[in-house]
């Protein structure tokens, strides 16, 4: 499979998963949950979705539990929205990249404040 097609399918999966997540009623999944990255195997058999939460790693792990319990519904919805021969098996992983990014931003803000205070 050409890499540009795999990239296009990955983007389509990311877009549709974002829309599906908004429709889920599970309270573990609602809130500031973000899809950080989607990795799809070359044969479209498996898809790993990396989830992050603004509230931290514990909240992301809780969201992953909710997503795992709804994975059948999510996969069915993905199959109905995308014209794929085979809908990939979904696995969800928690990551703390949003929290890490916020921490880096906070450090940079402090450095700016220190630079403005010194003559």
What mean pLDDT comes out for the span 22-42? 87
Task: Kindly state the DSSP code that residue 38 receives in the 8-state scheme.
Answer: E
Between the alpha carbon of residue 89 and those of residues 2, 48, 71, 76, 108, the distances in Å are 20, 8, 9, 11, 40
CATH number among 3.40.50.620, 3.90.79.10, 3.30.300.20, 1.20.1630.10, domain 3-117 = 3.30.300.20
Between the alpha carbon of residue 50 and those of residues 94, 95, 98, 113, the distances in Å are 6, 6, 11, 34
Domain locations in the chain?
Answer: 3-117
Contact in structure between 93 and 51 (CB atoms under 8 Å): yes
Asked whether residue 30 carries a pLDDT value surpassing 60, the answer given is: yes
Q: Which residue has the higher pLDDT, 105 or 69?
A: 69
Q: What was the pLDDT predicted at 11?
A: 93
Q: Which of 2-16, 30-44, 66-80 has the highest mean pLDDT?
A: 66-80
pTM for this one?
A: 0.78
């Amino acid at each position: 499979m050409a890499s540009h097609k795999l990239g296009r399918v990955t983007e389509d999966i990311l877009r549709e998963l974002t829309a599906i997540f908004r429709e889920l009623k599970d309270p573990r999944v609602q809130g500031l949950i973000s899809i950080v990255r989607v990795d799809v195997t070359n044969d479209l058999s498996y898809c790993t979705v990396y989830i992050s939460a603004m509230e931290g790693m514990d909240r992301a792990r809780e969201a992953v539990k909710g997503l795992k319990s709804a994975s059948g519904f999510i996969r069915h919805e993905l199959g109905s929205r995308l014209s794929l021969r085979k809908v990939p098996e979904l696995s969800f992983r928690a990551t703390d990249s949003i929290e890490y990014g916020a921490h880096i931003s906070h450090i940079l803000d402090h450095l700016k404040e220190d630079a403005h205070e010194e003559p």
